[in-house]
Amino acid sequence: MSEYMERHTVSRMIGAPPGYVGFGEGGKLTEAVRRKPCSIVLFDEVEKAHPDVFNILLQILEDGRLTDSQGRQVSFKNTLIIMTSNIGSRLIASSGQASGLAAFSKGARGAGGEATQADHARLKRLVLQEVKEHFKPELLNSLTAACSTAEFIA
């Protein structure tokens, strides 16, 4: 999503407004989903995107549709939206869980020094707190599920 960090680049998703170069071409996102409604759309490292991208995502997640720059409504009802983020990755890496090493806290550990369920729960709370500090509540409330790599590694 680093290519959508600036406000003026967000229009690439839904198409250029009337009077601008590329108006008739449509947007990368809206055209792709309009042509193939049963799609999987990946927003990789979504935290890097401009805040206007989140407004577009919110419309997709709440309404199941998005209006492109030409006024056409594109349905996202058969589209799976996946967002990745590196938020909390430093916490996970420093916990040692990313490489299966030492436990996150100095509290109780398993017999082999591995992280316990309490360690995983604490790490998850800290990561979710970072996520809540970065993203608006209305976007987070529109999501079906959230998971971290620590859950897969554990």
Three-state secondary structure of 94-109: HHCCCCCCCCCCCCCC
Q: What is the pLDDT of residue 94?
A: 81
140 CB-near residues (< 8 Å, 6+ apart): 131, 132, 146
15 and 22 Cβ atoms separated by less than 8 Å: yes
Across 126-143, average pLDDT? 92
Q: What is the pLDDT of residue 103?
A: 44
Q: What is the pLDDT of residue 151?
A: 60
Q: What is the pLDDT of residue 33?
A: 97
Residue 43, Cα to own-chain centre: how many angstroms? Answer: 6
- pLDDT, one tens digit per residue, over 2-59 is 677 777 778 888 887 777 777 778 899 999 999 999 999 999 999 999 999 999 999 9
C-alpha span between 134 and 47 (Å, rounded): 8
The alpha-carbon radius of gyration of the chain (Å, integer) is 19
Domain segments of the chain: what residues? 1-84, 87-154
Q: What is the pLDDT of residue 102?
A: 44
Q: What is the pLDDT of residue 65?
A: 96
